[in-house]
Amino acid sequence: MSSVHHDVNLLPPPRVEEVSENVFAYIQPDGSWWINNTGFLVGRRGVISVDACSTVRRTRAYLDAIGTVTSQPVRTLINTHHHGDHTFGNHLFDGATIVGHEGTRTSVLQWGEPGAAAAFWTDVEWGDVTIEPPFLTYTEGVTVWSDDLRAEVRHVGTPAHTTNDSIVWLPERGVLFSGDLLFNGGTPFLLQGSVAGAVKVLEEVVKPLGATTVVPGHGGVAGPELVDEVLGYLRFVQRTARAGRDAGLTPLETARETDLGEYAGLLDAERIVGNLHRAYAELEDGPLGRSIDVAAALGDMVAYNGGRPLTCLA
């Protein structure tokens, strides 16, 4: 099996989309491994950024894109979770207050430098990355303001994509920055979080918001229908895990025997293996999001990918 990918030389350039007045999404095609979305709110006294990017080159390009919209500095940087595609660029936001959940700070420090993941992905030119965790933290949430526009930063309350996910919700505009709770065109990934928890969060936290515009962590800007599309995939993973375990198969064996069906065209199809590792763990007693052997799961993803490192175009 192999991933669905575009050639790096054919990827469209990142783009800025104004999703509401003075609220912008920064979309990085093709949204596959380590190529994330960010966003920013422009006010009279400065900019609020939602996430950084994975590499020095990509984060500098993002900052340059903000500069085409406003000459105001980024005063606040919100991290939706700890993964490096959303945090490795933190150190380039000179003078900004970096805001995140307490678990995001802890996990950024535990993750460390980009080289820790190098064994599982193709080579990436990360640049000279300095780890810079959030230094203003919260347990449940915090409200930030862009002039009179309220932006509610909310921890989702349970492991989902990771153990420390937050959303950024603009209730007056119906705009949601979902972080990696939602992928558009890419395979959702729950290895360091919880499949069951993600279902709960999407059903009980995200859907009731009634967002009309969704900026996902990866892929194009979408409407509320994206929530149900991701829920469909998560429930597919849960059904597949139950059937595979009942048949006495390992997660890798189950993945190899599984017809991905309507999900076969999503980017990074090998994530089914990591998701099954997580879903298998959740068929046993224990807390959601508990530690499992992530390195073993990533190794199985490489095996599913024909023994080749996972393709990263960042």
Domain boundaries, the chain: 8-304
The string of pLDDT tens digits covering residues 182-227 is: 999 999 999 999 999 999 999 999 999 999 999 999 999 999 999 9
Torsion of CA 130, 131, 136, 138, to 10 degrees: 160
- Band (9; pLDDT cuts 50, 70, 90): low
Q: How far apart are CA 205 and CA 165, in angstroms?
A: 12
pLDDT at 5 over 60: no
Query: DSSP code of 309?
Result: P
Core vs surface per residue 120-149: b (16+ CB within 10 A) or e: bbeebebbebeebbbeebbeeebebebeeb
Mean pLDDT of 275-279: 98
* DSSP string covering 93-131: STTPEEEEEHHHHHHHHHH-SGGGGTTTB------S---
CA 230 remoteness from chain centre: 13
The string of pLDDT tens digits covering residues 105-131 is: 999 999 999 987 667 999 999 999 999
Mean pLDDT of 240-250: 98
Three-state DSSP class for residue 29: coil
Q: How far apart are CA 146 and CA 168, in angstroms?
A: 13
On whether the CB atoms of residues 166 and 268 are closer than 8 A, the answer is no
Mean pLDDT of 258-274: 98
Q: Token digits for 81?
A: 């979770």
Three-state DSSP class for residue 210: coil
pLDDT of residue 119: 77
Q: How far apart are CA 93 and CA 221, in angstroms?
A: 24
On whether the CB atoms of residues 211 and 225 are closer than 8 A, the answer is no
Mean pLDDT of 148-168: 98
Q: Which amino acid is at 109?
A: L
Q: Compute the mean pLDDT over every residue in the chain, rounded to the nearest whole number.
A: 96
Mean pLDDT of 34-44: 98
Q: How far apart are CA 276 and CA 236, in angstroms?
A: 10
Q: Does domain 8-304 have CATH number 3.60.15.10?
A: yes
Q: What residues pair up with 176 in beta bridges, in sequence order?
A: 169, 214
pLDDT at 11 over 50: yes
Instruction: Look at the alpha carbons of 70, 75, 79, 84 in this order and tell me if their dihedral is positive or negative.
Output: positive
Count Cβ atoms below 10 Å from residue 225 Cβ, excluding itself.
Answer: 8
Q: How far apart are CA 137 and CA 210, in angstroms?
A: 27
- Band (2; pLDDT cuts 50, 70, 90): very low
